[in-house]
């Protein structure tokens, strides 16, 4: 048994703050029993990174050229902020320190409009490609930049490409040392780039002695396996009705909030095309970009959404 398997705790459903809150709107199509069933409030999240920073392009676009690339993250994130404002939704923005340094006005708008500012690390480096000391330096620097620019405390972290796993059992300890209260870095599915299919599906403490809560990406348990239901490429691939049914199943059958994630570049069908990609990488990245914004608007209408630190009470605790 691996070290992480020994230290991963059973999921603690009490960590999820199910929100039958006064004044909270009832999500369309999400209730049941003639409106008697409380509405579960789900967590809406955005990974703020630009089109050239995704892992699929790591072998095609050198980090040294990032400052010379066409920067589209600001316009695309403003577009998402407008969409959230139209639907009265607050979200958590896991933002790269690299972006915050170059787009401080964007970070300030995120904070000013009542969204949660959280960390996506400094420059989208995979956790498993760093030593513990390098990782601590990365997340500490990112947190400092975000707090300086945004003027708020940053408690949350999400790893690039969900790269916290069995080979990085030290990650939560380093996050705690850097002052984080929670992580949302595990995707409990089987995938060729990431995944921890045996991890707990819901909020839990991976290591009892470390005060960091892990809130995994949402999955649907079906046929003895976890199926993805959290966003990203799967949201663009699956028929919307199938994805919506998955979120409803998690809310009603599991009695848990869902965690949804998306990226600003996913609402940008006009982004530059990168040559030399494998067919799989090109398919994953460019599939249905023109439909994402419309699907996201439907999702915002069909369910209740809020920030991570208000959906999960322990995410708001001091680090």
Which residues, listed in sequence order, are joined to residue 182 by a DSSP beta bridge? 156, 213
Q: Biggest alpha carbon distance in the chain?
A: 57
Q: Confidence band (pLDDT; 50, 70, 90) for 319?
A: low
The yes-or-no verdict on residue 255 having pLDDT over 70 is yes
Rounded to whole angstroms, the Cα distance separating 236 from 232 reads: 7
Mean of the per-residue pLDDT values of the chain: 88
Give the integer Cα–Cα distance in Å for 9 and 181: 17
Give the per-residue pLDDT at 195.
54
Condensed to tens digits (0 to 9), the pLDDT of residues 190-231 reads: 655 555 778 899 999 999 999 999 999 999 998 889 999 999
Structure-derived torsion over alpha carbons of residues 255, 89, 313, 315, reported in degrees to the nearest 10: 110
37 or 13: which carries more pLDDT confidence? 37
Q: Given CA atoms 200, 229, 52, 94 in this order, what sign does their dihedral have?
A: negative
Residues 264 and 77: their CA atoms lie apart, in Å, by 5
Tell me if 37 sits within 8 A of 251, measured CB to CB: no
The continuous run of DSSP H or E covering 295 comes out as: helix 289-302
Contacts of 214 (CB under 8 A, 6+ apart): 172, 182, 183, 184, 185, 186, 203, 204, 205, 206
1 contact partners, CB below 8 Å, separation of at least 6: none
All residues at 6 or more sequence positions from 90 whose CB lies less than 8 Å from its CB, including other chains:
44, 84, 113, 114, 115, 116, 305, 306, 307, 310
pLDDT exceeds cutoff 60 at 244: yes
Q: What mean pLDDT do residues 152-181 have? A: 95
* Cα distances (Å, whole numbers) of residue 136 to 130, 156, 213: 9, 14, 17
The pLDDT of residue 232 is above 60: yes
pTM exceeding the 0.85 threshold for the entire prediction: yes
Lowest-confidence range among 33-37, 137-141, 307-311? 33-37
């Amino acid at each position: 048994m691996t070290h992480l398997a020994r230290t991963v705790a059973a999921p603690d459903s009490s960590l999820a703050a199910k929100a039958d809150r006064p004044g909270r709107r009832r999500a369309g199509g999400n209730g049941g029993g003639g409106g008697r069933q409380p509405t579960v409030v789900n967590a809406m999240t955005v990974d703020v990174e630009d089109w050239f920073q995704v892992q699929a392009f790591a072998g095609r676009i050198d980090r040294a050229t990032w400052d010379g690339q066409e920067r589209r993250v600001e316009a695309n994130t403003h577009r998402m902020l407008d969409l959230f404002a139209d639907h009265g939704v607050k979200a958590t923005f896991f933002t790269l320190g690299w972006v915050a340094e170059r787009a401080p006005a964007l970070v300030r708008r995120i904070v000013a409009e009542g969204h949660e500012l959280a960390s996506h690390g400094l420059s989208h480096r995979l956790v498993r490609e760093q030593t513990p000391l390098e990782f601590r330096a990365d997340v500490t620097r990112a947190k400092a930049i975000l707090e300086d620019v945004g003027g708020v405390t940053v408690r949350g972290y999400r790893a690039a490409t969900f790269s916290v796993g069995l080979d990085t059992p030290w990650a939560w300890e380093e996050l705690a040392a850097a002052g984080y209260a929670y992580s949302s870095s595990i995707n409990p599915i089987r995938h060729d780039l990431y995944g921890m299919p045996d991890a707990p599906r819901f909020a839990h403490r991976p290591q009892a002695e470390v005060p960091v809560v892990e809130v995994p990406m949402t999955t649907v348990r079906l046929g003895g396996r976890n199926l993805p239901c959290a966003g990203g490429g799967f949201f663009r691939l699956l028929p919307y009705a199938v994805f919506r049914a998955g979120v409803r199943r998690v809310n009603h059958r599991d009695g848990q909030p869902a965690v949804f994630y998306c990226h600003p570049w996913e609402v940008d069908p006009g982004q530059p095309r990168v040559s030399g990609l494998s067919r799989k990488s090109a398919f994953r990245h460019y599939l249905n970009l023109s439909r994402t914004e419309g699907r996201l608007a439907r999702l915002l209408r069909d369910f209740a959404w809020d920030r991570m630190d208000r959906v999960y009470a322990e995410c708001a605790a001091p680090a």
